[in-house]
């Protein structure tokens, strides 16, 4: 059988997760170099209309893997159905978006197939006929090129934002309906409704200026430094996850993949290292200023202005200077 790339697209409650298109774009890029055609599979029930959107991309085929057991996501049902499907299709490479759902079942699926999963890749390289996946290591301080040993199918997940979904090439693909394999037992996990916590008092997505603090702020009482800077700039205070985990600021002020996504005119990051889960929530900001004592901190990768220094010295001076500039 010829080698193919299979993209496992994601839907939740009948809505296509747009990051699936990013993974298709990634698969198309790999396909250009390897010559392996791209196919897509979408699992669920009653999802034919979603398949149409996927079929409008330049891929060889879209398979709709359906069964009532796949209506609501459970790892048991997904692993069972996808294992059977992949064993029949024998693709060379299986690609997923690195979503919470994929994190939940893809490692199990890989092992059930007696194969390996390279998770959270930010890109790939095709060198002398070998496919390598690039992933961030040590919280973004390093990158690594990782290869598969042994036979396919090889499984890999792409980090959100690794490719641009709007650059997935358009086309027209046939849609194939496949009845999913369903295990005899019922799933062991019983999921309930997805919900959000109570309404939020602040909407940071509307703020033009955000001053965000990270663990470099050291103690809760030092938040005053950030508050004064925010006041001088006419902005709001936000934070990285550890600050909210500590209860120093409410969860609604957390920026990142499990918090808010913002794109203000100005984002000032104080003592934030720049882990990817934080960056995805703020990298769309127009101007990013980062203050960090570590010149190697990954936050500097995406900052427009980087200040290497002790925030306890720099921030008070900056607050004063901005007050002066504003009153001038």
Partner 1 sequence: MKILVCIKQVPQKDAPLKLNESGTWIREDVSYEVNEPDAYALEEALRQKEKHGGEVVVITAGPVRAQQVLREALAKGADRAIHLEDDKFVQLDSTNTARAIAAAAAEENFDLIVTGLQSDDFGAAQTGVLLAEILGLPHATIIIGIEKTDSGLRLKRELEAGHYQFIDLPTPAVLTIQSGINKLRYASLIGIKQAKNKPLRKVAWAEVEPKLSKNLQQIERLYVPVKQKKTEMIEGPAAEVARKVTEYLKNTARVI
Ligand X SMILES: Cc1cc2nc3c(=O)[nH]c(=O)nc-3n(C[C@@H](O)[C@H](O)[C@H](O)COP(=O)(O)OP(=O)(O)OC[C@H]3O[C@@H](n4cnc5c(N)ncnc54)[C@H](O)[C@@H]3O)c2cc1C
Binding site for ligand X (CB under 6 A): 214-216, 240-242, 254-259, 271-273, 275, 277-278, 281, 291-294, 297, 310-312
Residue 214, binding choice from ligand X, partner 1, none, Cβ under 5 to 8 Å by partner class: ligand X
Using rule CB under 8 A, residue 209 touches partner 1 = yes
Instruction: List the structure tokens of 323.
Output: 């007050």
Region 67-86 residues binding partner 1, contact defined as CB under 8 A? 75-76
Q: Give the distance from CA 85 to its chain's centroid.
A: 25
The binder of partner 1 chosen from 184, 193, 201, 219 (CB under 8 A): 193
Using rule CB under 8 A, residue 199 touches partner 1 = no
- How many residues are present in the chain? 328
**Dihedral in degrees, nearest 10, Cα atoms 170, 173, 175, 180:** -80
Question: What phi and psi values does residue 27 have, to the nearest 5 degrees?
Answer: -65, -40
Give whichever of 153 and 259 is closer to ligand X, judged by the CB atom: 259
Q: Can you tell me whether residue 60 is helix, strand or coil?
A: coil
Using rule CB under 8 A, residue 313 touches partner 1 = yes
Instruction: List the structure tokens of 262.
Output: 């913002």
Q: Can you tell me whether residue 134 is helix, strand or coil?
A: strand
The stretch among 2-10, 29-37, 80-88, 315-323 that binds partner 1 (CB under 8 A) is 315-323
In the complex, the smallest distance separating the C-beta of residue 130 from partner 1, rounded to whole angstroms, is 9
Q: Residue 112 contacts by C-beta under 8 Å, 6 or more apart in sequence?
A: 79, 83
In the complex, the smallest distance separating the C-beta of residue 310 from ligand X, rounded to whole angstroms, is 5
Region 226-265 residues binding partner 1, contact defined as CB under 8 A? 233, 241-242, 244-245, 247, 251, 257-261, 265
In the complex, the smallest distance separating the C-beta of residue 77 from ligand X, rounded to whole angstroms, is 23
Give whichever of 175 and 289 is closer to partner 1, judged by the CB atom: 289
In the complex, the smallest distance separating the C-beta of residue 19 from ligand X, rounded to whole angstroms, is 15
The binder of partner 1 chosen from 115, 175, 202, 248 (CB under 8 A): 115
Instruction: For residue 189, give Cα distances in angstroms to 45, 78, 181, 209.
Output: 18, 12, 18, 43
Instruction: List the structure tokens of 243.
Output: 């600050």
Q: Can you tell me whether residue 256 is helix, strand or coil?
A: coil
Instruction: For residue 177, give Cα distances in angstroms to 11, 51, 63, 64, 174.
Output: 16, 10, 6, 5, 10
The stretch among 51-59, 87-95, 145-153, 165-173 that binds partner 1 (CB under 8 A) is 145-153
In the complex, the smallest distance separating the C-beta of residue 64 from partner 1, rounded to whole angstroms, is 24
Q: Can you tell me whether residue 158 is helix, strand or coil?
A: strand
Residue 278, binding choice from partner 1, ligand X, none, Cβ under 5 to 8 Å by partner class: ligand X
Calpha distance 87→91 (Å, rounded): 8
Region 20-39 residues binding partner 1, contact defined as CB under 8 A? none
**Which uninterrupted H or E stretch holds 224?**
helix 223-233
Calpha distance 177→175 (Å, rounded): 7
Using rule CB under 8 A, residue 287 touches partner 1 = yes
Residue 153, binding choice from ligand X, partner 1, none, Cβ under 5 to 8 Å by partner class: none
Residue 138, binding choice from partner 1, ligand X, none, Cβ under 5 to 8 Å by partner class: partner 1
Pairing of strands 130-137, 117-127: antiparallel
Give whichever of 27 and 217 is closer to ligand X, judged by the CB atom: 217
Using rule CB under 8 A, residue 90 touches partner 1 = no
Q: What is the largest CA-CA distance in the chain?
A: 75
């Amino acid at each position: 059988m010829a080698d193919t790339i299979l993209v496992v697209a994601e839907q939740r409650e009948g809505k296509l997760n747009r990051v699936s298109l990013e993974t298709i774009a990634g698969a198309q890029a790999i396909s250009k170099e390897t010559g392996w055609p791209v196919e897509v599979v979408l699992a669920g029930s009653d999802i034919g209309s979603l398949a149409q959107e996927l079929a409008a991309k330049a891929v060889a085929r879209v398979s709709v893997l359906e069964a009532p057991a796949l209506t609501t996501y459970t790892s048991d049902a997904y692993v069972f159905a996808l294992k059977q499907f992949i064993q029949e299709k024998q693709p060379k490479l299986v690609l997923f978006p690195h979503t919470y759902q994929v994190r939940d079942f893809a490692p199990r699926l890989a092992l059930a197939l007696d194969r390996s999963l390279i998770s959270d890749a930010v890109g790939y390289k095709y060198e002398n006929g070998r496919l390598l996946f690039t992933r961030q290591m040590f919280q973004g301080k390093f990158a690594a090129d990782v290869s598969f040993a042994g036979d396919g199918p090889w499984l890999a997940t792409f980090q959100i934002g690794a490719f641009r979904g709007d650059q997935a090439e358009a086309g027209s693909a046939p849609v194939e309906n496949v009845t999913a394999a369903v295990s005899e037992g019922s799933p062991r996990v019983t999921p309930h409704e997805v919900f959000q916590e109570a309404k939020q008092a602040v909407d940071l997505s509307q703020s033009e200026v955000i001053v965000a603090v990270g663990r470099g702020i050291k103690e809760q009482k030092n938040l005053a430094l950030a508050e004064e800077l925010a006041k001088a700039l006419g902005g709001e205070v936000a934070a990285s996850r550890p600050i909210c985990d500590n209860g120093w600021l409410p969860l609604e002020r957390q920026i990142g993949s499990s918090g808010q996504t913002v794109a203000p005119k100005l984002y000032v990051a104080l003592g934030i290292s720049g882990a990817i889960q934080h960056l995805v929530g703020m990298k769309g900001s127009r101007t990013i200023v980062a203050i960090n004592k570590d010149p190697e901190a990954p936050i500097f990768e995406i900052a427009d202005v980087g200040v290497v220094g002790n925030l306890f010295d720099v921030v008070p001076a900056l607050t004063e200077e901005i007050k002066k500039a504003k009153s001038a």
